Amino acid sequence: MMQIGVITGLSVSHTTASVDEIELASCETVDDRVSELLTKPGVSEAFALQTCNRSEAYVVTDRADQGRAALTDIVTDVREGAVEHMDHEASLRHLMRVAAGLESLVLGEDQIIGQFKTAVEASRSAGGIGPLLEDAIMKAVHVGERARTETEINEGVVSLGSAAVELASQETDLEGATALVVGAGEMGSLAAKSLVSAGVDRILVANRTIPHATHIAETIDVEATAIGLDAAPAAAETAAVVIAATGSPEYVLETDALAAVGETICIDLAQPRDIDPAAADVDGVAVYDIDALESVTESTHRRREAAARAVEAMIDEEFDRLTALFKRKRADEAISSMYESAERVKNREVATAFAKLDARGELTDDQREVIESLADSLVSQLLSAPTKSLRDAAAEDDWTTIQTAMQLFNPEFGGELPSNTDSSGSTDRTPSDSAGRPKDRSDELPDGVSHDELPADVLEQLSSE
């Protein structure tokens, strides 16, 4: 299937948006977002990524304006300045930057690569991943893995969970304290391990599914107890620090539930929020959200700047490889159509020749083999120069030549190839003369190839052009 189309992307993240604005741009699940996007006019592929500090969506359409229109509804209620719109090339680069951790609140954090892969599988299960996004997303995953194995981008504070514990340790003494972790997902697990390293003596892990909380409790090296989510408010009364990171659509800890907790640091890493922000008005309760972690992560950013520069160079390298892959695939599709067309003509003409010769006397197997070999050789020699021209055209972003080849050799091809995907999203069109008619391209045959040597159906298309 031809890789026709351009990617259009949209991001609402911590770099430009508040927690509330990210929540406004989020959907209940990635599957829901992708399924919704696939119903939009012109959308053939879709991918979505939602984490506690970003909501992003990408679509593949024939034209960039279709992609922008398909994504509009996502940010209807979001301040324009909080939204980043991305064309094809910007989307490709951004996907790689996200997977590598360069767009994370904690520069180079490890959790994003797992979240990215989970989003890929959810988008795939919803039918959103096609050939164009497959190549783009798998390249992003590859870059994310390279960044972490070949650089020190993830040295030091490596997650929002550990950043939350760092913030808590700045606000209160965690040595010998009791902590409450609300949520038993990856974020909760990372927070629990960081709390152990910070010196807490006891951890309560609250989760809707208690066996999941039990799993975390059994994997950390301090006294730990798994409890149900409904027991979290009471548990908070014994905790010096509460770190919340569930996927609940509603508040897990309401203001009234925290009224009697006393001196407690509450850090909310969830999206949407787990802790009612109004709880900050309760005496002794300090509530922090993701936005508050920026000061904590600033020193990590400074330490990782050199590694980030190395990852930027890696992205440039992998971006060039990805665009070269797209070009090669488009050329190969045109070349394949050309050879398939020639093969059909060859088989038909060889069969006609066999029938005529058989009428004059039965052909031997050796004679048949010679005729078939001659036909194969003619096809190969005739198409050698066009094959090279098509590959050169792809390397030079000459999509007009690619499009003309597709129109000549693939009767089912009726669309237009995207251009070299510049920021305008425009598409190249077949050249026309001063009257607006398509130019006659019959004089652009490779050297040494005459009209008489081309298959009849190709000559017909050339003359009609």
* CATH number (domain holding residue 226): 3.40.50.720
Q: Is residue 308 in some structural domain?
A: no
Residue 65: give its domain's CATH number. Answer: 3.30.460.30
pLDDT band at 313 (very low <50, low <70, confident <90, very high): very high
Check whether residue 123 and residue 164 sit in a common domain. no
Check whether residue 40 and residue 149 sit in a common domain. yes
Report which of residues 115 and 330 the model is more confident about.
Answer: 115
Check whether residue 280 and residue 374 sit in a common domain. no
Last residue of a domain, one of 155, 170, 196: 155
pLDDT band at 420 (very low <50, low <70, confident <90, very high): very low
* Environment class of 305 (CB within 10 Å of its CB; exposed 0-12, middle 13-18, buried 19+): exposed
Tens-digit pLDDT profile for residues 119-177: 999 999 999 999 999 999 999 999 999 999 999 888 766 678 888 998 999 999 999 99
Last residue of a domain, one of 136, 155, 174: 155
Whether residue 408 contacts residue 461, with contact meaning beta carbons closer than 8 Å, is answered with yes
Check whether residue 145 and residue 173 sit in a common domain. no
Average pLDDT, the chain: 84
Q: Is residue 312 in some structural domain?
A: no
Q: Is residue 207 in some structural domain?
A: yes
Question: Does residue 276 register a pLDDT over 70?
Answer: yes
Last residue of a domain, one of 94, 121, 155: 155
Check whether residue 178 and residue 208 sit in a common domain. yes
Check whether residue 12 and residue 99 sit in a common domain. yes
Q: Is residue 316 in some structural domain?
A: no
Check whether residue 19 and residue 151 sit in a common domain. yes
Whether residue 143 contacts residue 108, with contact meaning beta carbons closer than 8 Å, is answered with no
Check whether residue 36 and residue 136 sit in a common domain. yes
User: What pLDDT, on the 0 to 100 scale, is given for residue 138?
Assistant: 96
Q: Is residue 320 in some structural domain?
A: no
Degrees (nearest 5) of the Cα angle 228, 53, 221?
Answer: 45
Question: Does residue 452 register a pLDDT over 60?
Answer: no
Check whether residue 359 and residue 436 sit in a common domain. yes
Domain of residue 242: give its range.
160-298
Check whether residue 193 and residue 145 sit in a common domain. no
Q: Is residue 86 in some structural domain?
A: yes
φ, ψ of residue 264 to 5 degrees: the values are: -145, 135
Q: Is 52 a catalytic residue?
A: yes
Number of domains observed in the structure of the chain: 3
Report which of residues 326 and 275 the model is more confident about.
Answer: 275
Whether residue 225 contacts residue 165, with contact meaning beta carbons closer than 8 Å, is answered with no
How many other CB atoms are there within 10 angstroms of residue 212's CB atom? 17
Kindly name the residue from 4, 6, 17, 52 that is annotated as catalytic. Answer: 52
Check whether residue 181 and residue 135 sit in a common domain. no
Q: Is residue 135 in some structural domain?
A: yes
Q: Is residue 60 in some structural domain?
A: yes
Rounded-to-integer distance, Cα 433 and Cα 305, Å: 54
Check whether residue 216 and residue 265 sit in a common domain. yes
How many other CB atoms are there within 10 angstroms of residue 213's CB atom? 26
